[in-house]
Amino acid sequence: MTGFVSFVSSGPGDPELLTLKAVARLQAADVVLFDDLSSGPILGHARKGADLVGVGKRAGKPSAKQDHVNRLLVDYASAGVRVVRLKSGDSGLFGRLEEELTALRSAGIPYEIIPGVPSAMAAAAAAGIPLTRRLTARRVQFVTGHDVTGALPEDLNLAALADPGATTVIFMGKRTFAELARRLTGAGMPAGTPAILAESVSTPDQKILRGTLASMAALIAEEAGDGPALILLGPLAESG
């Protein structure tokens, strides 16, 4: 008998931001494979007696290898149980979802994807701003701040990122922001472009830092903690 895998997006961390469907799947699961950022009070919704297996990845810390996570998904589902793969934010954004889907498809295991509150939207809400504005911020772009080695990606479209009419959200960019700011300045983005760092959004450790493209790297070095963070750049970051 083949089991079933539900990819459940847990949102940014506040359990009250879980969807009703996410809670229902957690309450029905036999096994929950969870990321570090999806642990804590969110796991309080898991069924009593369910196996809770941590498979999180954190930069600079010991992490589960992706091949191992894929194998666990296939092995548990092949045993005929209901599996929840719990991912932070929305599982389709920088969450390596596709690699896990490919493993399940190859093994003939059925699955579903349950969307959640993306951390970018939660960060904007925490900062008291929208991500778009009629006429002056018509486009939103999401980009990762590091590649598989932890360095700033070399193939970033700097012209697009420097667009003054866009809101740019940088995921996992604290360690590389100083270099990114240097490149964006060289691509024509004004040094005074408003910037926000949103750290540990929607949790008791939430921190919002406001600055500019030129000042944000120093703010990160001086005031940021070690929690997960996003950096928002663009005209809307000056409000709120």
Tokens standing for 134?
Answer: 């009629």
pLDDT of residue 118: 96
Q: Which of 14, 35, 51, 207 is catalytic?
A: 35
Report the distance separating Cα 196 and Cα 215, nearest Å: 10
Structural domains present in the chain: 4-114 (3.40.1010.10), 119-238 (3.30.950.10)
> Is the pTM value of this prediction over 0.85?
yes
The whole-number pLDDT of residue 239 equals 65
CA–CA separation, 35 and 52 (whole Å): 11
pLDDT at 169: 97
What's the confidence (pLDDT) of residue 156?
Answer: 95
Query: Per-residue confidence of the chain (240 residues) as pLDDT tens digits?
Result: 689 999 999 999 999 999 999 999 999 999 999 998 888 899 999 999 999 999 986 655 566 799 999 999 999 999 999 999 999 999 999 999 999 999 999 999 999 999 999 999 999 999 999 999 988 888 999 999 998 888 999 999 999 999 999 999 999 999 999 999 999 999 999 999 999 999 999 999 999 999 999 999 999 999 999 999 999 999 988 766
Residue 57 known to be catalytic: yes
| pLDDT score for 117 | 97
Per the residue annotation, which of 36, 57, 163, 205 is the catalytic one?
Answer: 57
Predicted local distance difference test score (pLDDT) of residue 167: 96
Q: What is the DSSP string of the chain?
A: ---EEEEEE-BTS-GGGS-HHHHHHHHH-SEEEE-GGG-GGGGGGSPTT-EEEE----TTS----HHHHHHHHHHHHHTT-EEEEEESB-TTSSS-HHHHHHHHHHHT--EEEE----HHHHHHHHHT--S-BTTTB-EEEEEES--TTSSPPTT--HHHHT-TTEEEEEES-TTTHHHHHHHHHHTT--TT-EEEEEESTTSTT-EEEEEETTTHHHHHHHH--SS-EEEEESGGGG--
Q: Across the chain, which distance is largest between two alpha carbons, in Å?
A: 60
CA 178 to chain centre: 21
Catalytic, 35? Answer yes
Helix 177-186 × helix 216-223 angle, to 10°: 170
Residue 45: per-residue pLDDT: 96
